[in-house]
Amino acid sequence: MIAVVKNNTEITPDWLTQALKQNNVISSSVSKVEIEPIGAGVGLMAELCRLKLTYAANETAPSTMIAKCAARNENLEVAKILDFYNRETNFYNNIGSDCPLKVPESYFGAVNQDTYDCVILMEDLGDVSPRDQLVGASKEEAFSAIGNIARMHAKWWQLVDNPRSAWMFPMMSPTEAVRLKELIYLPALEPALEKFSNFFSEEMKLLCRTVGRRYDEFWAESVTPVETFVHGDYRQDNMIYKNGSLDAIVMDWQISGRGYGIFDVTYFMCQSMGVALRREIESELLEFYVARLIEAGVKNYTLDQCWQDYKYMILGCLVYPITVCGTLDTANERGRALGEAMLERNLTAIDELGCQKLVL
């Protein structure tokens, strides 16, 4: 069994040869590797570097790759609690090549279950940047994103509750809802209310606390119980658009698993779109999502169900801005700005759609 490297300093030509030969990516060997750290101070849950490889013989494998290793900061504990690294490696190793979304090609992925070290070798997309979630999606990007995720949801709609899908993390099960509530949401809530107090009216503070106490209701119990495979972190910062195309390459599958498709839709709409645009095209996007599901063969999901699920899931989505604002490192300027944007957009959607009536 190939050892899992702890960080990029342990990536050697010999290790790369073993890793790439395991999946028949190369037939000779790696004779030299140059390592270039990238994204310093940006990534929350992983360390990234670019590998420049020289092979001992002619190979069809690429001369550069991206290595993604476990985080070496306080966020590692969050990754362990939510099992981020197994979720992402399992995605690439099991269904990455079959996913209807554009995703980076993966050449090797493994997790050391004892130490929770992780490494994934994946396609180098070049010097590209994701869209900026602070700016928010354009109307065209929003329709493309929702149409694309509908195709993925339709592919695995009601096909994930079987032994072949046992590797999929049950991210929206009652058990996980309780874990999210007790280990993530509630510990972050009061610090978030204090650090970002100007975003919360007294009524909104009451709502957020009530959601915390009853979180399992909004995450796992109140949504139409039809499962599929979900991305889990479907937002602008995880999408790369190349050559002017609206068909984004979707990154970061650390929160993927078995769950309710409406989550990906809601999360994108209430946190990756500006308030004005969400307000303008919200109804159209939900209609578009349901129509794309039906076109792909889904027969048991109506627009009325979608709307009701969407309102409940807007409350469930609070776990993301509450966690960012209350527990993760927001010392850098962009980190705080992102937390503020996610919070403002989510809370405004709750207020405008009257989601308080579902809680208070």
Ordered DSSP codes for 5-55: PSSGGG--HHHHHHHHHHTTS-SS-EEEEEEEEESTTT-SSEEEEEEEEEE
- In this structure, how many other beta carbons lie within 10 angstroms of the beta carbon of residue 68? 26
Indicate the range of 129-138, 247-256, 305-314, 349-358 predicted with least confidence: 129-138
Give the amino acid at 333.
Answer: E
Work out the average pLDDT over 143-149: 98
Rounded (5°) CA angle 337-338-343: 100
Map out the domains of the chain as residue ranges.
8-123, 139-358
Q: Report pLDDT for 42.
A: 43
Give the Cα separation of 347 and 271 in Å (integer).
10
Task: Select from 240, 243, 235, 259 the least CA-distant residue to 142.
Answer: 235
Is the pLDDT score of 90 beyond 60?
yes
Does residue 73 register a pLDDT over 90?
A: no
How far are the Cα atoms of 167, 222, 315 from residue 113, in angstroms, in the given order? Answer: 14, 34, 33
Q: What is the pLDDT of residue 39?
A: 67
Which range among 15-19, 72-76, 127-131 has the greatest average pLDDT? 15-19
Query: What pLDDT sits at residue 244?
Result: 78
Average pLDDT rounded to a whole number, residues 130-139: 91
Looking at per-residue confidence, does 217 or 60 come out higher? Answer: 60
Alpha-carbon distance of 138 to 346, in angstroms, equals 18
Pick the CATH number of 139-358 from 3.90.1200.10, 3.90.550.10, 3.40.50.2020, 3.20.20.70: 3.90.1200.10
> Residue 220 — very low, low, confident or very high, per pLDDT cuts 50/70/90?
confident
User: What is residue 243's predicted lDDT score, i.e. its pLDDT?
Assistant: 80
Q: Return d(Cα 226, Cα 262) in angstroms, integer.
A: 10
pLDDT confidence of 330, banded at 50, 70, 90?
low
pLDDT confidence tier of residue 41, bands split at 50, 70 and 90: very low
Residue 126's pLDDT band, with cuts at 50, 70 and 90, is confident
Does CATH place domain 8-123 in 3.30.530.20?
Answer: no
CB atoms within 10 A of CB 167: 16
**85: pLDDT confidence band, cut at 50, 70 and 90?**
very high
Mean pLDDT rounded to a whole number for the chain: 93
Chain center to CA of 6: 23
User: Would you say 23 and 107 are in contact if contact means Cβ atoms under 8 Å apart?
Assistant: yes
Instruction: Look at residue 329 in the predicted model and tell me its pLDDT.
Output: 63
Least confident of 120-124, 158-162, 175-179, 328-332: 328-332
With pLDDT > 70 as the criterion, what percentage of the chain qualifies?
Answer: 96
Specify the pTM: 0.94
pLDDT of 134 reads 93
Reported as a pLDDT band with limits 50, 70 and 90, residue 335 is: confident
Give the residue with greater pLDDT, 38 vs 205. Answer: 205
State how far the Cα of 60 lies from the Cα of 77, in Å rounded to an integer. 38
Q: Are domains 8-123 and 139-358 of this chain identical in fold?
A: no
